[in-house]
Amino acid sequence: MAEALRVVVLDDGYDSYATEQAILAEVGATVVVRPCKNDAAAVAAALVDADAALVRESPVTAAALSGAPRCRAVVRYGIGIDAIDRVAAAALRIYVANVPDYGAEEVSDHAMALLLAVVRHVVQRDRAVRNGAWNVARQEKMYRIAGLTLGLVGYGRIAHTFERKMRGMGVDRVLVADPNKTAADCPGVELVDLPTLCAQSDFISMHAPLTAETRHMLGAGEIALMKPTAIVINTGRGPLIDESALIAALERKAIMGAGLDVFEREPLPRDSALITLDNVVLSDHTAWYSEASIQELQSKAAMEVLRVLRGEQPVHWVNRWDGR
């Protein structure tokens, strides 16, 4: 009798995995939750007898994959795949897939919330009023959003959705820096290089994938080009920004502020200078979340695993081999 298929969830965090179990029951697979907490050795141990894996944040290394002879697929709960060794997986003919088509509404909502909180000094005003202050409107300058320029670094689904919402706020121009796009891909926006975007934008929102080329793409040089009233928003990946360079600019008020949901190190270290700055609004990598997005994410990730276990290719296959 053939051994039952085993799908390992490498990170916990969801209330239930009944969705995955119901979907994967079609092929008789058992879903097993193995919280690995970013421990590469724990991932390797969990994958030894896995036919497929679902992962949120823990690293899936070449060593872990080489010790998983039954593994046919690693599917990321989400968009970013920088923690999975795709080259090693391709060499072993293990599919790597992600879920790029979920959460665009939630992440763009959160980017707007961070932007508005910084523009209107919402957090500072809340603290001031709680401490008895009143009539302090002009202590910190505020600027109207309508008529200003939005810069989008990366122009995928989330950036498109964010643009739509910001158009409703009345931004006058939208600049896009994305080397993978052509003018034909970007109707209604201005395709520019990153230095131009940094120099001309009032709001700069990060939406690029994290790769070796995009790590620290927003560094001291790019930040030095920004207007003193510029605001940086990051709901993409923390390492897209050189955090030390951003902190230095915020400390000397070289730019107006930042709204950050992601960081170079997560959780954000308690000794991070970002925590002490009053021109930054912080959240805990939560832009992706709503009750609807969780259901969508779990369903779509499980469906990718199901396709592979049925002998099909995943829809969002990200480590293609043999020219496929």
Catalytic residue status for 105: no
Reading the block at residue 75, the tokens are 């599917």
**167: nearest Cα among 186, 154, 148, 153:** 148
Residue 276 is given by DSSP the state G
* Crossing angle for the helix pair 104-119 and 122-130, to the nearest 10 degrees: 60
Query: Which entry of 105, 216, 285, 296 is annotated as an active-site residue?
Result: 285
Q: 281: part of which helix (H) or strand (E)?
A: strand 280-282
Q: Quote the CA–CA distance of 66 and 50 in Å, as a whole number.
A: 12
Among the listed residues 237, 243, 264, 304, the single catalytic one is: 237
Q: How many residues belong to the chain?
A: 324
Annotation marks residue 72 as catalytic: no
Annotated catalytic residue within 26, 70, 251, 266: 266
**Angstrom distance (rounded) from CA 20 to CA 95:** 18
Q: Name residue, tokens 């979340």.
A: 289
CA distances from 166 to 101, 132, 146, 183, 204 (A): 20, 33, 9, 20, 12
Is 237 part of the annotated catalytic residue set?
Answer: yes
The residues assigned a catalytic role are 237, 266, 285
